[in-house]
Structure 1
Amino acid sequence: MMYSLTPVRIEIIDFYEDGENTRHYHFRLLEVTSTWLKAQSGQFFMLCVPGVGEAPFTFTALPDENGNFRALVRMMGGVTQALFEQKIGDVLGARGPFGQGWPVNELADKKVLIIGGGCGIAPLVSITEQLIEQGNFDQLAVVYATRSKNTLMLTPERDRWQHLIPIFNVVEDASDLEPLDYYQGTAVSILPKVLETFAELPERVLISGPELMMCAVIEYLVACGIDAHAIYLSLERRMHCAVGLCGHCYVKNQYVCTRGPTFSWTDARALLSPLE
């Protein structure tokens, strides 16, 4: 597949603060193409701030027919700092969509467990929305784990989901939070309670977050009897070109930007073996 390295123009429609040094942005494509309309949950795009550079971000809402899409952005470097200085109505650039998304075709009519840690919840938002729209209310559960009250993200989305599906918000330091809505602990410590919500073990698991967290969660789930082939995760790497040319995201024998960012655990565990 041939990719264009020339960005298309996008406009900042709106944004709001959504966690510590984090914003949820609403963008609009000024040139809507069929390529963008075919974007899949779990794929990413390259956001270009003219005169500064590019950085990769995942879609929290996929582009619609009018070119509207959303992304969660945490200030972590020069590109994101420059983005935070832009105003509503400013025009930026974007390339994409890139990479492999979640295995959507494998999720229909399956019991699905979704686990996000910190910013890792972002790649899971649109697939969660899709599954909810399909009416999988009794076959879907979400775990969101983070460090503290200040690092909570995507609160409007999680508040909406909790009226439809089981959602387990887990915070390492939950002392300042309402105990009815949040558990104190980690993504691993909450799993026994989460698995009780399923009559049988989940048939598919989607995970995104810090790599050590993902490895610990997967180790627990596999020990519980969940097939490693049924577990998928999203790897975060610094994608500079997004098309497998620059080598910045090369891990062992894979380019994360083209082979990933989503992998089955059977493929990913060889890449992450030093962290296990």
Structure 2
Amino acid sequence: MPRLGILDYAKEAFREPYNLILFIGALLAGIISLMPFVVWPLTAAVEILYLLTMANNARYQAVVRARMQRRDQTDTLDVASRLIEGLSERRKLRFEAVRARCLDLQESIKPTGKRDEVGHLLESQQLESVNQLLWVFLRTLAYEQALDSFCSSMPRGEIQNMLRKTEAALQAEKLSEQMRTAYLENVDVLKKRLDNLERAETNLKTLEARLIRVENSIMLIQEQALTRQDPAFIEAEVNSATAGLTSVEQMLGSLDLPSMDAASQGPTPELLGRAEAER
């Protein structure tokens, strides 16, 4: 969530239902009383005082931040639902299998006795970390599907055949300068298409390897919780597994792929908690 300023808090305070009712009521009162030039300046002064007071109130600022975080959380949950629905059946089953295993491990490591504060914090951190990795795993699955579709739709054989024919046509003895220029431009475009396809296929293999990496990291964090309660280890594993996703998104942006609603910005959706609620 971006850092909020005084103006952001003032806008939220102005949009409060009780403020809108009173503000509109005061404006109407000025009209009804036939003294708008007396009532309206007083209303404006009171409104400005109210906005400044609320915008600088620490408790109200906390309420606004929590409200916006919930709003962002809802948005990313909607995006996650759309990404899951957009996956192929095979990829959807793969994601659900990883999420189900996380839930099973989560249940198995829940302490039966009374937890101290440190134990509660470790469990919360672990749940947050697994949610974060599940989100990365889901987005990577969606990227991999888009890239796989791109590679599958590119007719390599047809492009290579066109390239051979064009290069052969360039060998003709009687060829006008305009035709030669057109053929040369066509050869250049066809070679770029083949280079783009080869780059996409290489990136697809990288994505497939990253999927396995993230999948194993999710399992590792869950399994390590049985024997190793180390917050630094959990944080390091999450950072290591997610480090390459930004470069993956940049790489996909350089290819001619359809736009994807991946929502790389914003809070991590509660994928693990959502699945548990659905059980």
The verdict on a shared fold, with TM-score over 0.5 as the criterion, is no
| Structure of higher CA gyration radius | 2
Higher helix content, 1 or 2 = 2
Higher strand content, 1 or 2 = 1
Identify which of structures 1 and 2 has the higher relative contact order when contacts are C-alpha pairs closer than 8 Å and 6+ apart: 2
TM-score (norm 2): 0.22
TM-score (norm 1): 0.22
